[in-house]
Amino acid sequence: MPEKIKNYINGRWVGAASGKTFESRNPADAREVLGVVADSAAADVDAAVRAAKAAYPGWAATPAPKRGEILYRAAEALIRHKADLGAWVTREMGKVLPEALGDVQEAIDMTYYMAGEGRRLCGETVPSELPDKDAKSVRVPVGVFGLITPWNFPVAIPAWKITPALIAGNTVVLKPAEETPICAARLVKILCEAGLPAGVLNLVCGFGETAGEPLVCHPNVDAVSFTGSNAVGGRLSVLAAERHKHFAMEAGGKNPIIIMDDADLSLAVTGALWGAFGTAGQRCTAASRLIVHTAVYDRFVAQITERAGRLRLGNGLHSKTDVGPIVSEAQYHKVLDYIALGAREGARQILGGPHKKGACAHGYFIAPTLFLDVRPTMRIAREEIFGPVVCIFKARSLREAIDLANDSPFGLSAAIYTQNTHHAARAERDLNTGLVYINAATIGAEIQLPFGGTRRTGLGPREAGGRGGALDLYTQWKVIYRDFSGRLQKAQIGETP
Ligand code: ADP
């Protein structure tokens, strides 16, 4: 029996006001309907925003350490539900079970980390230039946050946004991806059962245009955090700017791995396979460009082709599966269109393509796909494909490799495999991305550090991390000057010494 997934508004599970629903299906076997989900529209968004606005004064006034205690309880509850939630991530999104459990673990890590921030929401006290006067800055919440999340980390990314928003004293309306509403509903249920007051965290399921856009545009939503495609992020940034809302987005990557002639080649191949084909390439940090030194190019290509060809596709719940399906029919066709485009642009496909054999017949499977003879100007080399598709380039030197790596509209993550410390140091300095990995693939960010990218990848403060990361997005500064001189004192207008 499919799950019935409702909205969660003001502490109650309710269907869409219109009564409409849509289906969530298993991408490994699209015949299986997993959930029947509230198909929300502006009226539902409005009810959720009202609830969030009403709950805001009480939540903002709750001492941050007390808010943290609820998040600690939520983290403990997530641990108890980890196996179940992880299995739902695999069923609904497709990634293999160990990765799905990692998705949940990331949410647990983030929830603990943000719970701790409840006792560390520090500002600064600084000396005043005037006598009998002091000055301090404090972090205060922003208000009601609209959070719009993608399907590729259906538990971790909502948790990345919800927990810093809540610890800072904001209230939240979450609009999760239409592909993964069951995961979002389970996460919200666990967080709320840990003791969040009604209205503090609300869930509205539905599609981008009909539920997401009304959330961004709602006059009582003070701030928006978005993770998803670059095109949608760009559009939402304009809508938010026109309405003077705080806005941050993370929207894509075209992440390179440089493999130098002095690299441990076997380690580099292992890393490239993990970076490119983990989560079937459906990560914003997935390695989609491999830039290989000419001296080891032939050996590298032979090894990665052989090992990528051996990866087993299938249902992510089966322990022998290496690569799960693409999340949906629409994404499946989008990735296949890019593969066809690569051939039309003149690149040479040596592996991969659609995979419909045996148990994969009814799912959206694409085998690890490799392109050689790719020019940096080709669309497959520049646009985010978000699937198991990799372009392999040659470079004659570290300089050429770094220039190729930086020649991208995106700047999320980059990696280098080298055993030469000078090469590593130069790459660390010159790669123009938000994340740089040395002798590791482009994926695997840890929650205690800021996450985000340069150029078109992102806008606004970084996700994750604490100060310098998520707290800069989910709080704003208030500065307080206190004059206890009992007379009029004028800053900047005193006597020059
Ligand atoms: P993808 O192509 O990877 O699904 P999207 O950017 O389309 O990425 O979706 C990411 C999130 O943004 C989802 O929750 C989706 O519903 C939402 N979304 C898509 N279009 C809009 C829109 N016009 N307004 C608001 N949210 C949107």
Summarised one tens digit per residue, pLDDT across range 352-379 is 999 988 889 999 999 999 999 999 999 9
Is 90 exceeded by the pLDDT of residue 465?
Answer: no
Please give the pLDDT value at position 105.
98
pLDDT confidence band for 496 (50 / 70 / 90)? low
Please give the pLDDT value at position 460.
87
Is the pTM higher than 0.85? The answer reads yes
Is 70 exceeded by the pLDDT of residue 244?
Answer: yes
Please give the pLDDT value at position 468.
76
Please give the pLDDT value at position 466.
72
158 lines ligand 1 (CB under 6 A): no
Q: What is the CA radius of gyration of the chain?
A: 24
212 lines ligand 1 (CB under 6 A): yes
Q: What is the pLDDT of residues 22-59, one digit of tens each?
A: 999 999 999 999 999 999 999 999 999 999 999 999 99
Shortest-distance atom of ligand 1 to CA 334: 2
Place of tokens 């292992």: 270
114 lines ligand 1 (CB under 6 A): no
Q: What is the pLDDT of residues 97-128, one digit of tens each?
A: 999 999 999 999 999 999 999 999 999 999 99
Mutation test residue for ligand 1: of 148, 217, 338, the one with most atoms within 8 Å of CB:
148
Rounded to the nearest whole angstrom, what is the distance from the C-alpha of residue 75 to the centroid of ligand 1?
28
pLDDT confidence band for 495 (50 / 70 / 90)? low
Rounded to the nearest whole angstrom, what is the distance from the C-alpha of residue 230 to the centroid of ligand 1?
10
Is 80 exceeded by the pLDDT of residue 494?
Answer: no
User: What's the topology of domain 255-438?
Assistant: Aldehyde Dehydrogenase; Chain A, domain 2 (3.40.309)
User: Which amino acid, residue 145?
Assistant: F
Average pLDDT over residues 130-151: 97
149 lines ligand 1 (CB under 6 A): yes
Please give the pLDDT value at position 248.
95
Among protein residues, the one whose CA lies closest to atom 27 of ligand 1: 208
Average pLDDT over residues 322-343: 96
Cα separation of the two ends of the chain: 81
Lookup: tokens for 370: 């490799």
Q: What is the pLDDT of residues 197-227, one digit of tens each?
A: 999 999 999 999 999 999 999 999 999 999 9
Rounded to the nearest whole angstrom, what is the distance from the C-alpha of residue 484 to the centroid of ligand 1?
52
Rounded to the nearest whole angstrom, what is the distance from the C-alpha of residue 322 to the centroid of ligand 1?
28
10 Å Cβ neighbour count for 130? 16
What are the structural domain ranges in the chain?
3-251+457-481, 255-438
Shortest-distance atom of ligand 1 to CA 207: 16
Mutation test residue for ligand 1: of 174, 207, 232, the one with most atoms within 8 Å of CB:
232
251 lines ligand 1 (CB under 6 A): no
Shortest-distance atom of ligand 1 to CA 216: 25
Share of the chain above pLDDT 70, in %: 99
Shortest-distance atom of ligand 1 to CA 235: 23
Among protein residues, the one whose CA lies closest to atom 15 of ligand 1: 208
Among protein residues, the one whose CA lies closest to atom 7 of ligand 1: 229
User: Which amino acid, residue 294?
Assistant: T
Please give the pLDDT value at position 386.
95
Rounded to the nearest whole angstrom, what is the distance from the C-alpha of residue 412 to the centroid of ligand 1?
19
Share of the chain above pLDDT 90, in %: 95
3-state secondary structure the chain: CCEEECEEECCEEECCCCCCEEEEECCCCCCCEEEEEECCCHHHHHHHHHHHHHHHHHHHHCCHHHHHHHHHHHHHHHHHCHHHHHHHHHHHHCCCHHHHHHHHHHHHHHHHHHHHHCCCCCCEEEECCCCCEEEEEEEEECCEEEEECCCCCCCHHHHHHHHHHHHCCCEEEEECCCCCHHHHHHHHHHHHHCCCCCCCEEECCCCHHHHHHHHHHCCCCCEEEEECCHHHHHHHHHHHHHCCCEEEEECCCCEEEEECCCCCHHHHHHHHHHHHHHHHHCCCCCEEEEEEEHHHHHHHHHHHHHHHHCCCECCCCCCCCCECCCCCHHHHHHHHHHHHHHHHHCCEEEEEEECCCHHHCCCCCEEEEEEECCCCCCHHHHCCCCCCEEEEEEECCHHHHHHHHHCCCEECEEEEECCCHHHHHHHHHHCCCCEEEECCCCCCCCCCCCECCEECCEECCCECCECECHHHHHEEEEEEEEECCCCCCCCCCCCCC
User: Which amino acid, residue 95?
Assistant: K
In this structure, are residues 245 and 473 in contact, taking their beta carbons and an 8 Å threshold?
Answer: no
Residue 184 CA to residue 190 CA, distance in Å, equals 10
Alpha-carbon distances of 325 from 94, 152, 321, 391, rounded to whole Å: 5, 12, 10, 20
Enumerate the active-site residues.
250, 284
pLDDT confidence band for 497 (50 / 70 / 90)? low
Rounded to the nearest whole angstrom, what is the distance from the C-alpha of residue 216 to the centroid of ligand 1?
12
229 lines ligand 1 (CB under 6 A): yes
Please give the pLDDT value at position 238.
96
Rounded to the nearest whole angstrom, what is the distance from the C-alpha of residue 353 to the centroid of ligand 1?
26
User: What's the topology of domain 3-251+457-481?
Assistant: Aldehyde Dehydrogenase; Chain A, domain 1 (3.40.605)
387 lines ligand 1 (CB under 6 A): no
Q: Which residues contact residue 231 at a Cβ distance below 8 angstroms, ignoring those fewer than 6 apart? A: none
Q: What is the pLDDT of residues 269-297, one digit of tens each?
A: 999 999 999 999 999 999 999 999 999 99
Mean pLDDT, the chain, as a whole number? 96
Residue 208 CA to residue 222 CA, distance in Å, equals 19
Compare 468 and 377 and report the one with higher pLDDT.
377
Among protein residues, the one whose CA lies closest to atom 20 of ligand 1: 208
Q: What is the pLDDT of residues 381-440, one digit of tens each?
A: 999 999 999 999 999 999 999 999 999 999 999 999 999 999 999 999 999 999 999 999
Q: 294-309 and 265-277 are packed helices; what angle lies between their axes, rounded to 10 degrees?
A: 50
